[in-house]
């Protein structure tokens, strides 16, 4: 299943947030979206998942989601969004209950996703007992449980410390190598973008427009060994963003 964003523009009251965004998210690819703060990245992601509607333009779903996909467009949030009154197990089971999956069928799925995210021994823990990195792994397990066609991630690692971030990024790479999921990954961290992204869309400052799309055709598994090339890509991204970030900063000062 592919997603095509067509001419998406949006304004909140009189604030124009996004202007004419065209973007393709193809199956099996990770598309990263980077851009200065406040340029509308989170807003764009909410449009892609159907949590909000743009003022104009549309998101087209091309092809059917794979059979068995319970929730084709699935989010992973920056703040984890776990229910604090449910255990790790209960948080995953929450998203299955509404699809009528109960009993042993649910148990199989939950044990499977918890094993894949290395959380099996924490299944009875409450969110407040977990570190940030583990909370985000629970959120990833929950997302995997509904067999998503596209994962929508809004700065999933930016609430974490840098060591945890590295570890979780490796986990994500492993996961992609095993399952080849499709994802749209919003971040302001260029290192994350070049580590994970097949295509990286750079947004301009508000109103967000696509300044450029940088393609990285180094396979994900080879990237740790080819850091020189990646550094070049990261520099290229930074050059694109730098002017935007500077200009965005000035704008805020003018207000």
Ligand X SMILES: Nc1ncnc2c1ncn2[C@@H]1O[C@H](COP(=O)(O)OP(=O)(O)OP(=O)(O)O)[C@@H](O)[C@H]1O
Residues found near Mg ion in the complex (CB under 5 A): 42
Question: For residue 151, what are the β-bridge partners?
Answer: 74, 183
Min dist. Cβ of residue 145 to another protein (A)? 9
- The least distance separating ligand X from the CB of residue 204, rounded to whole angstroms, comes to 11
Cα–Cα distances in angstroms (integers) from residue 191 to residues 87, 101, 146, 160, 238, in the given order? 33, 39, 29, 15, 10
SS3 state at 28: coil
Question: Nearest distance from residue 205's CB to ligand X, in Å?
Answer: 10
Helix (H) or strand (E) holding 250: helix 227-254
User: Nearest to residue 76, comparing CAs of 29, 38, 42, 124?
Assistant: 42
Applying CB under 8 A, among 85, 215, 246, 249 the residue interacting with another protein is 85
Q: Which stretch binds ligand X (CB under 6 A): 37-45, 104-112, 123-131, 164-172?
A: 37-45
CB of 183 to Mg ion, least distance (A): 16
Closest by CA to 178, choosing from 244, 239, 105, 112, is: 112
Nearest approach, Cβ of residue 43 and ligand X (Å): 3
Contact 73, 148 (CB under 8 A): yes
DSSP code per residue over 33-75: EE--TTSSHHHHHHHHTTSS--SEEEEEEESPPPTT-S-SEEE
d(CA 204, CA 40): 10
211 binds ligand X (CB under 6 A): no
Distance from C-alpha of 197 to C-alpha of 230, rounded to nearest angstrom? 11
- Here the tokens at position 126 are 């409450």
Residue 37 sits in the site that holds ligand X (CB under 6 A): yes
> What DSSP letter does each residue of 171-204 carry, written as one string?
HHHHHHHHH--EEEEE-S-HHHHHHH-SEEEEE-
- For residue 79, state whether it binds another protein (rule: CB under 8 A): yes
208 beta partners: 18
- Show the binding pattern over residues 24-63: x = contacts another protein (CB under 8 A), - = does not: -------------------------x-x------------
Q: Out of 6, 27, 95, 175, which residue is the one contacting another protein (CB under 8 A)?
A: 95
Complex with ligand X: residue 141 or 152, whichever CB lies closer: 152
CB of 124 to another protein, least distance (A): 12
125 makes contact with another protein (CB under 8 A): no
62 binds, among ligand X, Mg ion, another protein, none (CB under 5 to 8 A by kind): none
Question: Contact residues for ligand X (CB under 6 A)?
Answer: 12, 17, 35, 37-43, 188, 206
Question: Contact residues for another protein (CB under 8 A)?
Answer: 49, 51, 70-71, 73-75, 77, 79, 81, 83-86, 94-95, 97-99, 126, 128, 142, 146
């Amino acid at each position: 299943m592919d997603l095509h964003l067509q001419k998406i523009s949006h304004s909140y009251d009189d604030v124009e947030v996004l202007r004419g965004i065209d973007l393709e998210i193809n199956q099996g690819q990770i598309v990263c979206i980077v851009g200065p703060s406040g340029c509308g990245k989170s807003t764009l992601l909410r449009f892609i998942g159907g949590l909000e509607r743009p003022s104009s333009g549309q998101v087209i779903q091309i092809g059917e989601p794979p059979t068995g996909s319970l929730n084709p467009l699935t989010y992973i949030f920056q703040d984890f969004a776990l229910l604090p009154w449910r255990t790790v197990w209960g948080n995953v089971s929450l998203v299955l209950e509404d699809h009528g999956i109960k009993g042993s069928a649910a148990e199989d799925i939950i044990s499977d996703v918890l094993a894949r995210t290395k959380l099996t021994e924490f299944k009875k823990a409450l969110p407040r007992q977990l570190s940030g990195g583990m909370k985000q792994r629970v959120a990833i397990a929950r997302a995997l449980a509904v067999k998503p066609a596209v994962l929508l991630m809004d700065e999933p690692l930016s609430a974490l410390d840098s060591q945890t971030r590295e570890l979780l990024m490796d986990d994500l790479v492993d996961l992609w190598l095993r399952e080849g999921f499709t994802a749209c990954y919003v971040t302001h961290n260029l290192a994350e973008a070049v580590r994970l992204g097949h295509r990286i869309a750079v947004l301009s400052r508000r109103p967000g427009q696509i300044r450029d799309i940088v393609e990285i055709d180094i396979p994900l598994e080879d990237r740790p060994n080819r850091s020189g090339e990646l550094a070049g890509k990261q520099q290229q991204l930074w050059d694109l963003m730098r002017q935007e970030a500077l200009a965005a900063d000035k704008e805020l000062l003018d207000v």
